[in-house]
């Protein structure tokens, strides 16, 4: 592999790592927001005896947040898989393991 190819792989790895960090931060923010919504829902239920339209709205929002957190988790897993693959490819080509 040429130096330009190795540089392109390194840039791709850097970009994937940056994306992965951003997605992980976003996931943490959504998780914190979901936990906050759950806490507020429990507190509102305790104050109102557990009934009311606010509870339904909070439950709906919580469901959406959980779906988004799960989607972000899947994205992080996919990105980690891609990063692992690229790192392995870079190691193999660095050790002369490439067959090109």
Rounded Cα distance, 26 and 48, in Å: 33
DSSP-H helix ranges across 2-98: 3-48, 53-94
* pTM over cut 0.75: no
Binned average pLDDT, 10 residues per bin, the chain of 100 residues? 72 86 88 87 71 74 89 88 86 64
* Residues listed for the chain: 100
Token pair of 3 as six digits = 């130096």
* Three-class secondary structure of residue 51 per DSSP: coil
């Amino acid at each position: 592999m040429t130096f330009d190819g190795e540089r392109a792989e390194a840039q791709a790895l850097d970009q994937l790592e940056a994306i992965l960090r951003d997605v992980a931060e976003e996931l943490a923010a959504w998780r914190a927001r979901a936990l906050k919504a759950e806490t507020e829902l429990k507190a509102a239920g305790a104050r109102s005896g557990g009934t009311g339209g606010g509870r339904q709205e909070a439950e709906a929002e919580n469901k959406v947040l959980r779906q988004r957190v799960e989607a972000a988790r899947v994205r992080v897993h996919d990105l980690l898989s891609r990063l692992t693959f690229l790192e392995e490819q870079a190691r193999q080509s660095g050790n002369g393991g490439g067959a090109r």
